Structure 1
Amino acid sequence: MRDTAVRDLAWLLLSPDLLRPQLPLGALANPFETAQELQATIDWLYALDATPGPLHRDLAATRITRVGRYAERLLGWFLQHGPAARLIAAGVALRRAGVTLGECDFLVQSRQGVRLHWELAVKCYLHAGRGGDTRNAEDSPPARLADYVGPNLKDRFDLKLAHLLDHQLPLSAREEFASTGYAGPWTPRMFVKGWLFYRAGAPRADALELDPAHGRGWWVTRREWPAFALAHARRWRALPRLEWLAPRLTTRREQSAAAEASYVDALALAAQTSNQPGPVMVAAFVEDNAGDLIERSRGFIVPDEWPEQATRYAKQ
């Protein structure tokens, strides 16, 4: 698939989950209940890729700046127009005495009639702990979900999972939920996608809660960046937040002079990002036989002081 929005939607539906099931409450959402629904969705995505205009117009109807909101709009489009589960309601706010208790992301119904409450999260976390080092397994403590922190050090994977399990997923089972007009029962499911990034050159064991097939990237400090980058690729580009979902692809037809100028070598990218106050996601690109630029890998360049700050945050 070559259209950017369609590729992002396909990634959202088909990429591995970040987590294993966290039973009893944290079962995983499955957009396809049968092999036939999966194949029908793949066929539907290819058709959408050929004529993506309606999806583009829907995304352009409101200004989207957050990657989570972008993912919500993509998943909502699939539930409204796709060949599998169908949308009942989105963004259902639960209130009591004028106070908002929370908001359910999606209420859906499968083709088999099962009524489901989906909570969506798309996350990018960097592994910042010292545990799980496979080179010294006897001496190293096991990896923890708390070791995975957000780039801005205001989010941690263990805290996010706890919020999903303890607050978000139980919302649709609360007695007050009948007041929303969508009386249950609803079966809760979590829909958690994203990427986890590990320090380059430092082997780590995954936390037990993680799906081993999760999307992976790397991170390096600014001091480490030139040597790392020069050994890995010649063409690099910084990725804005709305490009944090699917691996990037720029077709030869799309490579205008302006677009071409955004692909730079390692030293130029270091200069571009040197004034950024926090971590910056970047991607390495290679050119295929058709002249398209395809993402080879992605990761973060972090300030030199960030690892120590992140380790402290992981221990809080």
Structure 2
Amino acid sequence: MSDGLLVDIHKDLTWLYDAPPLLADTTMMANFNPADHRSHNVLSQEWRTYPCAPAYRLGKQFEDVVAALIRNSPSTKLLARNLTILDKKRTLGELDYLMQQAGGQILHLEVAIKFYLHHPQIHGLSSFIGPGGRDRLDIKQHRLQTHQLPLTKKAEVHQALLDLDLPFPTHRAALLTGYLFYPYRTYHTAYWPKITELHSDHYKGWWLRHSEIEQLGTRPNSDTYFVILPRHHWIAGLEHQKNPTPLTATELKNQVTGTYSPNMIVEAKEDKGRWQTISRGIIVKDSWPD
């Protein structure tokens, strides 16, 4: 569509129900489990229109998916979303979601979907860097634990919620999910760094720089191909595409080499007329993370 991107976020919601968190539970940050709120009475399709690049924001699409999860959950009620908290005209922060759960508990929920690449020469959570080279997993964890989630513990926020006739949260949780991408050879040897803060079942993929794309052509399975995902398909991936455009490793290299923006890739295989995802990857410029 010339006036926007039409996306069926029901496919993203189906993906989200089973998506594990990126980080393990801690005393400072509890994980919200989407599977606990699964509903079988949702619409089979749920379309949303988003602006094209550069105005498009993946984070806004993911927030709509989480809102659909809460709205369709039989045990929750959405009380507020993207609620800006003011104190005497001073902005204290924004609450992603305020919701009522079964039993009457009031939950303050902060959400994000992230895609980080593991840098093998760096240790700990700081080794997971965004495809653009700026964002890092340790920075996101710190912000969630020290600013976003504790926000509703402040007396000023309590008063602001009272002024809005909204209840004060009794619980706080984070929904931080997505993929962690490991160097291509590391991914295929299943050798993962031992980082206790990571959730053991987080979704994993591979990454390559432009000059390393030839490694894709060395795979023994000649019947696998590659599909480039537009950014509005990054959540549910290939499920958004009925008729994807499969590329050989050489064709993929010709399309992405020289592009500045990172490209998310699905390694796919056709089975009885349907394309199945084998793995996901990200291809970045040679100078990444600079």
Residue 185 and residue 284 in structure 1: after superposition, are their counterparts in 2 closer, same or farther (change >3 A)? Answer: closer
Runs of 4+ in 1 over 4 A off after TM superposition: none
In 2 relative to 1, CA 245–229 (structure 1 residues): closer, same or farther, beyond 3 Å? farther
Q: How does 1:48-63 map onto structure 2 within 5 Å?
A: 48-49=43-44, 52=45, 55-56=46-47, 59-60=48-49, 63=51
Q: Which deviates further from its counterpart, 193-202 or 279-288?
A: 279-288
Tell me what 2:265 maps to.
282
Of 28, 31, 35, which aligns to 2:31? 28
- 1:129–1:148 Cα contact (<8 Å) kept: no
CA RMSD of aligned residues (A): 2.2
From the superposition, tell whether residues 280 and 247 of structure 1 become closer, same or farther in structure 2 (CA, over 3 Å). Answer: closer
User: Could you tell me how far 1:99 is from its partner in structure 2?
Assistant: 2.7
Q: Distance in 1 between matches of 2:250 and 2:229?
A: 16
Q: Which residue does 1:305 correspond to in 2?
A: 287
Alpha-carbon spacing, 1:206–1:276, altered in 2? closer, same or farther (3 Å): farther
Are 2:212 and 1:224 aligned?
A: yes
Corresponding residue to 1:208 among 196, 213, 223: 196
What is the TM-score normalised by the length of structure 2?
A: 0.85
Q: Please tell me whether the aligned partners of residues 106 and 167 of structure 2 are also in contact (alpha carbons under 8 angstroms).
A: no
By how many angstroms is 1:115 displaced? 0.7
Residue deviations 1:137-162 (CA, integer Å, cap 9, x gap) = xxxxxx40000000111100000110
Does the C-alpha gap of structure 1 residues 213 and 32 become closer, same or farther in structure 2, counting only changes over 3 Å?
A: closer
Q: Percent of counterpart pairs with the same letter?
A: 30
TM-aligned CA deviation for residue 120 of structure 1: 0.3
Q: Is the 8 A contact 1:250 1:293 kept in 2?
A: no
Map Cα deviations across residues 5-28 of structure 1 (whole Å, 9 max, x no partner): 3221122222111111121x3111
Pick the aligned partner of 1:110 from 101, 108, 128. 101
Mark the CA change 1:90 to 1:250 in structure 2 (over 3 Å): closer, same or farther.
Answer: closer
Partner of residue 167 from structure 1, selected from 147, 160, 166? 147
Whether 1:94 and 2:51 are equivalent positions in the alignment is: no
Post-superposition Cα deviations, 1:238-296, rounded to whole Å, max 9, x if no partner, equal 11222111241367xx33xxx5xx3221111111111211432111111112x011221
- After TM superposition, the structure 1 = structure 2 runs for residues 57-72 of structure 1, keeping only pairs within 5 Å, are 59-60=48-49, 63=51, 65-72=56-63
Unaligned runs of 5+ in 1: 132-142, 310-316
Q: Which residue identity lines up with residue 271 of structure 1 in the other structure?
A: N
Aligned-partner residue type, residue 100 of structure 1:
T
What number of residue pairs does the alignment pair up? Answer: 271
**Using a 3 Å threshold, how does the CA distance of structure 1 residues 155 and 299 change in structure 2: closer, same or farther?**
same
- Deviation, structure 1 residue 107: 0.5
Corresponding position: 1:190 with 2:178: no
Q: 2:64 aligns with which of 66, 73, 80?
A: 73
Please report how far the alpha carbon of residue 4 of structure 1 lies from its aligned counterpart in structure 2 after TM superposition. Answer: 5.1
SS in 1 for 2:281: strand
Counterpart contact for 1:12–1:71, Cα < 8 Å? no
Whole-angstrom CA distance in 2 between matches of 1:235 and 1:30: 33
Measure the CA separation in 2 of the matches of 1:234 and 1:11: 23
Structure 2, unaligned stretches of length 5 or more?
Answer: 1-6
Q: In structure 2, what residue type is equivalent to 1:22?
A: T
Q: Is the 8 A contact 1:85 1:111 kept in 2?
A: yes
**In 1, distance between residues paired with 2:112 and 2:26?**
15
Q: Which has the higher helix share?
A: 1
Give the alignment partner of residue 179 of structure 1, picking from 155, 160, 167.
Answer: 160
| 1:15-61 CA-partner distances (Å, limit 9, x unpaired) | 111111121x311113465xxx64xx2x235xx22xx2xx21xx22x
Q: Deviations over 1:92-140 (max 9, x none)?
A: 1112232322110000111221110000010000001325xxxxxxxxx
Task: Work out the CA distance in 1 between the residues paired with 2:92 and 2:250.
Answer: 49
Is this contact kept in 1: 2:228–2:263, CA < 8 A?
Answer: yes
| Pair 1:236-2:226 in alignment | yes
For residues 151-166 of structure 1, the aligned pairs below 5 Å read 151-166=131-146
